[in-house]
Chain A
């Protein structure tokens, strides 16, 4: 069965560079959530989209932006990267944002900023 696909799996960037992470939800899922997990830390919610509109916003820095496209895939754009941005970024998708449908998680993108 198709799962949530994230790309790339690994990414190494230098400070002040930009990075774009991609998330392809399960077919028919219309909601995407982005989370950031620093080394040894709990996952932190960044932002979510439902039907291509931002539905909720968490602790996402102003240097980051995200959007959901017409095919429901989402991209997280990160600019002026800092060493502290090194983390595992994973996304999850679900069907609907009004009820507690199950989540499916991607494998994550590990970003290393050097």
Chain B
């Protein structure tokens, strides 16, 4: 069982739909990152969370530390949101390397 699991693995939606991507983890963490990876590979850090909720534009990320669960929401989705979204956690064991989820491939159809 992976330490970080995401669902769904693939998601196709129509432009304008509200998107939710989920991340569950099994280890104690000090922070959780949501990352966006476009075709070609470059990774962009969207959010880093240790509690509560963050919002940036049409993106919202929430985390529930007790339930070991985080969600990434995209409102008014657009074709340019099509990418792989990766959840990565920073464990609280002292080292600082990230453990990555398997990613969710999002495709927004015009």
Contact = CB atoms under 8 A, between A and B. Distances in A.
Contact of B35 (A33, A55, A105, A108): A105
Interface string A72-114: 0000000000000000101010100111101111111010000
B27 interface: no
A100 B30 CA distance: 7
B50 A100 contact: yes
B95 interface: yes
- State the main secondary structure of chain A at its contact with B: strand
B41 A94 contact: no
Interface in B35-66: 35, 41-45, 48, 50
Q: Is the interface of B mostly helix, strand, loop or mixed?
A: strand
A43 B50 CA distance: 22
B45 A105 contact: yes
B96 A107 contact: no
A8 interface: no
Nearest to B32: A100
Interface of A: 31, 33, 35, 37, 42-43, 45, 48, 55-56, 58, 88, 90, 92, 94, 97-100, 102-108, 110
Interface of B: 30-31, 33, 35, 41-45, 48, 50, 86, 90, 94-103
Given A55-B96, A103-B98, A105-B35, 9 more contacts: A33-B96, A33-B98, A37-B41, A56-B96, A58-B97, A100-B90, A105-B45, A108-B41, A108-B42
